[in-house]
Structures are given as structure tokens and as C-alpha cells.
Chains A and B, each alone.
Chain A
Amino acid sequence: MAQKHSDIEKIKQLIDIMKANDLTELEIEHGDDKIALKRSQSEPPRYFVPALAPSAGSGAEAKESPGIKGPSTEAQSEEELVEITSPLVGTFYAAASPDSEPYVETGSQVESQTVVCVIEAMKVMNEIKAEASGTIVEILVKNGEAVEYGQPLFKLRPGDS
């Protein structure tokens, strides 16, 4: 009788441990003693972090981490970045000509009238301006790549130089 009572106590304790640690299965073997407990899973709470800035072609993805509240630090710095998107359909060129230096590189400071690239459309080279001031953080397309309207070309951290 006493053993049964202590068994039940043990089981109760184990259940508490499982709940506290969000465990669904627990199996303990101690010599010949063996106990296995399974807990039915209720939906854990889900927390979504704000979507990262979407890259060309992919949809925004939501991260789920049960128990985490608020944005992660990575998402937080992404939120400050601004995208320079293509206003045209055409071919992206990083420099004025194959022999020239690229207009910008990562780390380049730009102002709204700074030419950041050229997009060739129907044999016309169109200079694309930054339209914002800040620092180029990432270049999202390759030289000679076809780009569509609205396609992100650069990530910019806004701010005055």
C-alpha cells in the first residue's frame, strides 16, 4: 500500500516535471522499474517574428519559435534597411561600361541623386538613382542579370553621410 502511494506520488511528480518542461514523453528505467509517460500535446503557443525584408522572387517567410516574444535582433536590424527597387524591366549593369568601376559597392555612401546602376531597356541605358541617402549594405543582383519591375536591387541603410 505504501509503495503504491509513493508510486503515485512519483508519477504525480513526474507529471509536474513534464508539464514544467513541456515534455511530451518520458521514460525512466531504474533496474527493473520502468515507467513510461506520454502526455497529449495541446497546440503550443506560436509567436511570429516580423517577416524579414523579402528578397526577389520569394515570399515573406514567418519564423515561429514557441515561447519567444517580440522580434529577434536579426529581424530588428533588417527592419531599418530600405530597398532600392527597379523602376524598369531590363538588364542590370553595375557599371557604366565593362571597363569602368561599378557605380557603388557595399559600404558606398549614396545620396538621392547618386547613380547606383544602369538598367538597359530596349538598347537605351537608363541611369538609376538611389532616391534615398544612406549606405549600400547589399547588392542583390548580378551584373548582366535580367530584372523585372519592382525587383529589389540594393539594400540601403538610410542615414545622412
Chain B
Amino acid sequence: MLSRILIANRGEIALRIIRACHELGIEAVAVYSEADKDAAYLKLANQAICIGPAGAAESYLNIPRIISAAEIGDVDAIHPGYGFLAENINFAQICKDCGITFIGPPVEAMRLLGDKVEARKLARKVKVRVVPGSEGTIENEVEALKLANEMGYPMMIKAVAGGGGRGMRVVHNDISLRAAFSAARTEAKAAFGDGSVYLEKFIAQPRHVEVQVIADNEGNALHFYERDCTIQRRHQKMIEESPCGVLDERTREHLAEAALKIIKEAGYVNAATVEFLLDKNNKFYFIEVNARIQVEHPVTEMVTGHDLIKWQLKIASGHTIRFRQKNIKHTGVAIECRINAEDPENNFAPCPGKITRYVAPGGPGVRLDTHVYQGWTVSPNYDSMICKLIVHQRTRAEAIATMKRALSEFVIEPVKTTIPVCLDILSQNLFVKNKIDTGFVERHF
């Protein structure tokens, strides 16, 4: 087992990883920017090292400083969490060059799956249906127009180096494609350093369903069932649940098999999530692989009883999978609400500031993953997500009831949060009946 690791992240995921380390007897070294110097979770780490000023570029994204911290912290490995450097190929390579284990996939698998066009080719190779679209990158407008007219609008322009809902634009006709095409390339270049784009057919009113997998370095892989992340706003997930309530057993099995095939073909090791779109006929289409642990991993942990972060640490330590797939079961329904420090009445504008009153929910079936506490100042420098509230009950109806109760108990003042929006969504008839698609939030709010 690894003996000492550095957590190259902050906030709730840093705390999550510290907790898994403590339970496995692994020492945890935390890093922090000056904006996070008062974070309570730092005291739970064995060592905390300041790596820079508030700005992410000078701290959590600063590879030399993080590697230096790993050196002075004398660690065996680095856990990158999610976001920041978690899918940065350069960082993974540098860790390898410095003899530090990167808790995640090998560089080659990350590179392959990080290129969305290559990932689609890989899926097609193992006979997994992908969203119909371009074979490779689209070099110019003429090509784009030709393909769009062959396949039929609406189409989606996507960044090859994008992912996580970023770098995507829907176009409905030749005029909007012409208008969007070069803008999409410019944005992609600025955001991801690579302006290459590809095209996909836009699937109307899809559901977003993803499969959690873990693979070891001997080619064994396990799935931990699927998560339904259809409730999104601007391609950012708001509410996630497991299992997906509209899947029949056969589709569930096929979906999981497809995910495992892709992961094995890519030579992937450690935790990943394979994402699909589900159309109205319950046909699924591969979109991308997220080569990291995800925000919504707790939902899977609740229904399967497995600790995914511990799995990551064990795999990185060289452990091989001894579990049989048939022994991974799921029970009940888990739902997670992401709570952001945003003002829903002001177009979800971020609301940084000091939390002067904080009362956490509790009771049966409630789990809260957060770094926030009374007196904590939400910084403007980072993502606005401050808490993840997760519930687990035997049925979806009971899970919804528990989530509504827990959200109503939750007090976070005076910072504005998305708690009221979550409550609203959970009360919508269509949500309760599970007749939703990825456009649901934007249509209703």
C-alpha cells in the first residue's frame, strides 16, 4: 500500500481523499493556496504546504510548485482529484518522470481518451455505438456543411480536446453552422490549447447515463453500475442518481458491457466513467470517457457499498481486482444534489462571501460531502460548488422525500445557494415521474 500521498486539489474532494487515506493508514499531504489557508480540512492532513497565491494558475494548476511540494512532502504518489490537473497529460508524465505515482490512468490511456475523436474511433473499434458524426476532425466550414447536410440538422460542434460539457455548440441550420464554426475553433484553442473540432448529430431530448468502472494493471475491470445525470444546466450536472430509473435490466447489462469493452481496449487503469446518451427509444450512444474520479462518485458508493477513492488508492498501490463482477450489487436509490454558491435569481451569478450561519442536515439516509463550515469564506477564485448532499433510500420516491427534507433543513447564510432550485426540481411532476431529458432544467427555469 502507498504510505504517503499528496493531494493536488482543494475543497471537498481534498477532504474526501484525506478521509480515505486515514482509513487505509496512508499519510496525506495537503497543498493549499493562500485563499484556502484557513480551511479546516488542512488540519486533518499529516502535513499542509502552501503552494501559492489565490489564483489557480499560480497554485493548484502550477505543476512545478505541486511537484516541489511532493518532493519536500516526501510522498510516493499524487492524487489529482477532479478538475485542475486530473486530466492533464503533461502533469501525469512529469509525475512519472519524477518517480511519483500518479493516482489515475497511465499517460497513454489518458492521451488516447482525452482526444475525443480517438475515443470515438476506439469505441467503434469495439463495436460500441457512438453518436453519429464525423469520422475525424473537421478542418473547415465546407466539410462541416457537407456532413451536416448529409446527416441532417440539428448538429453539435464539439472540441476534440474538450469534455465535461465544455466546448460544445448546437447548430440548427447552415447559417448558424457558418456563424458558430470558427467561433467554436477559437474558443477551443483558448480553452484547451487545441482548436480542433468534430461534429456529432444532436440527439433530441437525450438522457445522460454514465457507467462507473475500475480497472487494475492486469487488464481486469469491474463496473459499479450506472448513474443518471440528466438534470443539467448549461451542460453542468446539478442532480445525479443511481440507478437510472428508466433502464431495463438488459439495457443496463449492455451499457455496462460496452463501458468495460472501451476501458479494456484503452488499456485503462484506475477509476473512470464512461458517458453515454440515451435516446427516447432507450438506445445508447457513447460520447466520452472521463479519465478521473468524478464529482458524483458518492451516488455509486451509496448504492453499491464500495468506497471508490479507496479503490483508487489500492489500484495505485498495485493491488489487483479480486472481486467478481457478480458480487458487485446495487441496492436502493441514491440521489445527489450539487449545491453551488450561486444566486438562482440573478442568472446563477457566483456568490462568494463568508458563511456566517451554517446548519447541516442529517438523519437517516443522509450523507454530506463538503469542506464548508460556519465561518468559512467562499472564495471567488474557484468553482462555485460548496457541498454535495447525497441521500440513499430503498426506493426513488423515498429518496426524493429524504432529499427534500434534508434540503429544507440545510441553512447556509448569507451566501446565496442553489438549494431552492434543487427543491424546486425535486417537486416537479416530470422529475418525480422520471420523464426528463438534458433540456429539462433550462426549459423550466
Contact = CB atoms under 8 A, between A and B. Distances in A.
A122 B68 contact: yes
Contacts of B59: 149
Contacts of B34: 149-150
A151 B68 contact: no
A146 interface: yes
A148 B36 CA distance: 14
Contact of A122 (B53, B71, B73): B71
Interface of A is mostly: loop
B65 A149 contact: yes
Interface string B53-75: 10000010000110111011100
A89 to B, nearest CB: 4
A29 to B, nearest CB: 52
B89 interface: no
A88 B68 contact: yes
Contacts of B52: 89, 149
Interface string B35-55: 000000000000001111100
Contact of A151 (B50, B53, B64): B50
Residues of B in contact with A, size category? 10 to 19
B358 to A, nearest CB: 22
B98 A122 contact: yes
Interface in A63-95: 88-91
Contacts of A147: 72
B65 A91 contact: no
A21 to B, nearest CB: 41
Contacts of B69: 89, 148
Nearest to B94: A122
Nearest to A90: B68
14 contacts: A88-B65, A89-B68, A89-B69, A89-B72, A90-B68, A121-B64, A121-B65, A121-B71, A122-B64, A148-B50, A149-B34, A149-B50, A149-B52, A150-B50
Given A88-B68, A149-B51, 12 more contacts: A89-B49, A89-B65, A121-B64, A121-B65, A122-B68, A122-B71, A122-B98, A146-B73, A148-B50, A149-B34, A149-B59, A150-B34
